[in-house]
Amino acid sequence: MIRAEGFVVVLVKNGHFQPDDLFFKNKDLIVKVKSIKQVLDSQSNPAIELTCTYKINLKERYYCHSPNDYVGHVFPALRKYISPILLTQVVYIDRAYDAKLT
């Protein structure tokens, strides 16, 4: 199992979020709100831009030889669970010996 951690910026239409709120959680992904910003979307409608921290577990792939080979797999994995994603940044990536996210 590969563990990646970093930041993701998400655009949501509505909701009441506070810093440290849990935005999304399942067995492979935890996303926590870091900051909130009121913005306009591409159609000039009010929206909320959430900057969040994430921890995600990725399945190991035979063609990836080092943890850095998984950086390109982070965005597609995040996109399965949350969207629209404006930006992702991987801060830490390595093999995870304990697959439990906290």
Complete DSSP assignment for 4-37: EEEEEEEEESS----TT-EEEE-SSEEEEEEEEE
C-alpha distances in Å from residue 62, one per residue of 38, 53, 67, 73, 98: 42, 28, 12, 13, 20
H or E stretch including 90?
A: strand 85-95
Pairwise CA distance, residues 14 & 51, whole Å: 15
Q: What is the pLDDT of residues 40-85, one digit of tens each?
A: 988 999 999 999 999 999 999 999 999 899 999 999 999 999 989 9
Domain boundaries along the sequence of the chain? 2-95
pLDDT computed for residue 75 by the predictor: 96
Beta bridge partners of 47: 39
Q: What is the pLDDT of residues 9-28, one digit of tens each?
A: 999 998 899 999 999 999 99
